[in-house]
């Protein structure tokens, strides 16, 4: 986990807050932090970022990256999509709104 993540908050202003945890949560976080060689605060920041992503709070940059990752992943079977994409979208949206 620690190797695949950049430092949380690097270059961003951070706000200090307090969080109450159960003893079990605290112990589990301490153990995980030691395994990952990061602070408990960093683990909590990762968890908050993950939760926000899962609930639609994804940055514009991340959305752009995900959209670009889909390029070439799907095939319509049509050879003129680049020329007629507006027509195809209008047709598709018309089908979606009329059903």
Asked if residue 89 belongs to a domain, the reply is: no
Length of the chain: 99
The average confidence (pLDDT) of the chain is 81
Residue 80 forms part of a structural domain: no
Instruction: Indicate whether 92 belongs to any domain.
Output: no
**Average of pLDDT values for 13-21?**
91
pLDDT at 3: 41
Distance CA 95, CA 2 (A): 46
Total domain count, the chain: 1
Question: Does residue 1 register a pLDDT over 80?
Answer: no
Q: Is the entire prediction scored with pTM above 0.75? A: no
Residue 35 lies in a domain: yes
Domain assignment of residue 22, given as a range: 1-59
């Amino acid at each position: 986990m620690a190797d695949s993540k950049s430092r949380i908050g690097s270059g961003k202003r951070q706000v200090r807050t307090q969080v109450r945890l159960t003893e079990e949560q605290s112990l589990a976080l301490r153990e995980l932090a030691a395994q990952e060689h990061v602070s408990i605060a960093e683990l909590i920041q990762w968890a908050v970022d993950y939760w926000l992503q899962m609930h639609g709070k994804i940055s514009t940059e991340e959305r752009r990256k995900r959209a670009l990752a889909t390029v070439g992943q799907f095939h319509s079977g049509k050879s003129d999509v680049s020329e007629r994409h507006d027509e195809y979208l209008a047709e598709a949206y018309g089908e979606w709104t009329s059903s």
